[in-house]
Structure 1
Amino acid sequence: MVAAGAAAAEDAPPVGDVGMGEKVFTKCRSCHQIGEGAHTAVGPELNGLIGRHAGSLPGYNYSEAMKTSGLVWDEATFKDYIRDPKAKVPGTKMAFAGLSRQSDIDNVTAYLKSFGADGKKLP
């Protein structure tokens, strides 16, 4: 039996706007890539981020803090991280200070979720 709260969460509309998230992602592009042909740059590429273990993308030299964080990138974890990366993972190499507006966090999360691990846009 599914709890009432869990059923309501499953029926809830998605949070965030993919198009607005693409605009927010311009703050990330100097270090990260996403989409077909993406590769590691200053930071790791972000295709298939949701569901990935933190510090696990082959070919990127993560900080020891990220590799040993034990995090798995689900929506809640990513949103918490992107608000204040250094607070979530002390010792991370990521120099970005974070996003302060909840709408920006929701939108960039929706944008990242719109790509599969292969870099293709999801339906």
Structure 2
Amino acid sequence: MKEADAKVTLVCGVYGKGLVLSVEVARNAKVTELRDVIARELVIHPRFLTLRLAWKEGEGWLQCDEDLDKILAGQVDSAFEKMLLLCPLVKNESGDGYLESAFDPGDCEVHVLVEARNPNEFVVKV
């Protein structure tokens, strides 16, 4: 498989809904493409979504544990970095991007936090 065709599966936690979902996106995608994929799953216009990297320096990825429901039900934690839409998802040669080129998702990790302007406006596809 060519690198351009390679996909990555990311686990996303949705603030205000206590919802966790997995999405698949091209490894060479920009954040805007990830946002579009998530928006299709949530049945909401992409412009209403803000994405945050679910990573904290010194702590690593947000874990799928008993605290996750409380985190997703609470206020948006600004300690999680807001993802810029035009940045590549995977870091490029100049270091722009969010995921290391060798990124391999682990079990029970959340990679992206999704913030909707009005979480009551969307429904999740079944």
The structure that is helix-richer by fraction is: 1
Could you say which structure has the larger radius of gyration? Answer: 1
Q: TM-score, normalised by structure 1?
A: 0.26
